[in-house]
Structure 1
Amino acid sequence: GFTAKDKEGRAYTFDTGPSFFSGLNPDLPPKLSNPLRSVLDAIGEPLPCIPYTTFGLSFPEGDFLHTSDFTNLLEQVSTLPNKNTNQQQEELASWENLMDLMQPLADTVEAMPTAALRTDVGVALTTAPFLPKLLQSSGGNPLNNLQLTKPFQSLLNRAGIQKQSFTQRWLDVLCFCLSGLPASGTITAEMAMMMGEFYEPNAIMDCPIGGAKAIVDALVKGIEKHGGKVFVNTPVQQIQVQDGKATGVIYKSKKKRKTNDNNNNDNK
């Protein structure tokens, strides 16, 4: 996000989108796929959120209302002068095909919490409780999950979504919002969680009160509450490691940052 000001000096803050905030609402059950919610729960810092179910879209064709029922959006688009009934039916059919293909992949992403993944042999212990659900979500064939590593566009092609259709362009927009690339450059795993949460029945999205800044404030509060300290504008020179564990940080002092004196260090 960033902040801009108009000519009268009034500030407007542009924040991140719903995919980043998804699952943060402490009044709703946590989602295993959201590691940030897991961290906030662990440090005991719930983040008050405002739930919402719709948002507005502005396209060259006009302004539309987005809901968890994408067919509603297609019906709005179908009223445009250059649309016909056959096009609408084709887009509806291809969308349903896509949802059928996406559902097991979304279940797979949800089945394995990010917090359980690690890079050492301990991963066998942390992931073991979730393996049965992971196997079930893949239809008994783990190879089905390889689709998660492929470009999202390959799934759209399988679903029969036409290149110049509104559905294709809308999904390219979603991919760009998430990864900065169209569907052809976004891996399916990135979209699996978003699609599952955007378009599940009665989907609810969350907006933290205070926006992304509220997340940072909650994390800092949780760290300080447990005896930690947060240093800002503090370049780190070295992380001290003993017996494979981080035991401290060597950072550059303020004097050093100002004078660029590489011989003056403080230990923390």
Structure 2
Amino acid sequence: MLKVDAIVIGSGIGGLVTAAMLARYGKRVLICESHTLPGGAAHSFSRQGFHFDSGPSFYCGLADPTSLNPLTQVLTLLGESLETIPYDPLGHYHFPEGTFPIYGNSEKYRETIAQITPRGAEEFARLERLFLELYAAMREIPTIVLRSDWQLIPLLIGRYGRSLLKFLPLLGMLQSSVG
């Protein structure tokens, strides 16, 4: 009989991360999966010559070890890394008027937006500035500690109080419009 400390149901990103964390701390883990492949929503499919991700994208930021990407943070904690291959454009939006490439370089992306809508490029620039300010404040609080329950508040204040103070001037921007 197989002896395990934990059974993880599902080999999606969450199941794989949970199993990896348990194994990292010496637990014997069994993962049970009904699908023929691991990965859960991290699959893709093709239709009529187009390729689609079937779930949320956890791939952006995997090449940067300082990324706020939760998967990158878990891999760093586990002492693991993934070989990544950057690609640009990241994808394309298809409209009746034409195809719109999505570039990882924000300046190039803004220039592409400006070809279609100059005002849209200005709005994107304002949105990007807002996100960069929020990102600068957020970098000091690991996303891996965030949960959606009230019990987190004392931990956040105790450990990250100074970093949270940086958010105070930004709170008004969280509900503001850029367009």
Quickly name the TM-score band, shorter chain normalised: 0.5 to 0.7
Q: Secondary structure at the match of 1:93?
A: helix
Q: Where does the alignment leave 5 or more consecutive residues of structure 1 unmatched?
A: 7-11, 79-87, 162-268
Q: Which has the higher helix share?
A: 1
Per-residue CA deviation, residues 177-226 of structure 1 (Å, 9 max, x unaligned), is: xxxxxxxxxxxxxxxxxxxxxxxxxxxxxxxxxxxxxxxxxxxxxxxxxx
Could you say what the CA RMSD is over the residues aligned between the two structures, in angstroms? 3.5
One-letter amino acid of the counterpart of residue 98, structure 1: L
Check if 1:144 corresponds to 2:176: no
* Distance (whole Å) between structure 2 residues aligned to residue 105 and residue 143 of structure 1: 10
Q: Is the 8 A contact 1:54 1:66 kept in 2?
A: yes
Identify if the C-alpha distance between structure 1 residues 94 and 5 changes in structure 2 by more than 3 Å, giving closer, same or farther: closer
Aligned residue number for residue 120 of structure 2 = 91
Check if 1:39 corresponds to 2:77: no
The structure 1 residue matched to 2:97, chosen from 55, 58, 61, is 61
Q: Secondary structure at the match of 1:111?
A: coil
Cα shift at 1:95: 3.1
Q: Secondary structure at the match of 1:107?
A: helix
1:104-143 matches, cutoff 5 A: 104-117=133-146, 119=151, 123=155, 128=159, 130-136=160-166, 138=167, 142=168
1:1-268 matches, cutoff 5 A: 1=41, 2=43, 14-15=52-53, 19-25=57-63, 28-31=64-67, 33-55=68-90, 56-67=92-103, 68-69=106-107, 70-77=109-116, 88=118, 90-117=119-146, 119=151, 123=155, 128=159, 130-136=160-166, 138=167, 142=168, 144-145=170-171, 147-148=173-174, 150=175, 155=176, 158-159=177-178, 161=179
Q: Secondary structure at the match of 2:85?
A: strand
Q: Where does the alignment leave 5 or more consecutive residues of structure 2 unmatched?
A: 1-40
One-letter amino acid of the counterpart of residue 72, structure 1: E
Q: Secondary structure at the match of 1:63?
A: strand
Q: Secondary structure at the match of 1:96?
A: helix
Which has the greater radius of gyration? 1
Cα shift at 1:62: 0.3
Identify if the C-alpha distance between structure 1 residues 116 and 62 changes in structure 2 by more than 3 Å, giving closer, same or farther: same
Percent sequence identity is 29
Aligned residue pair count: 129
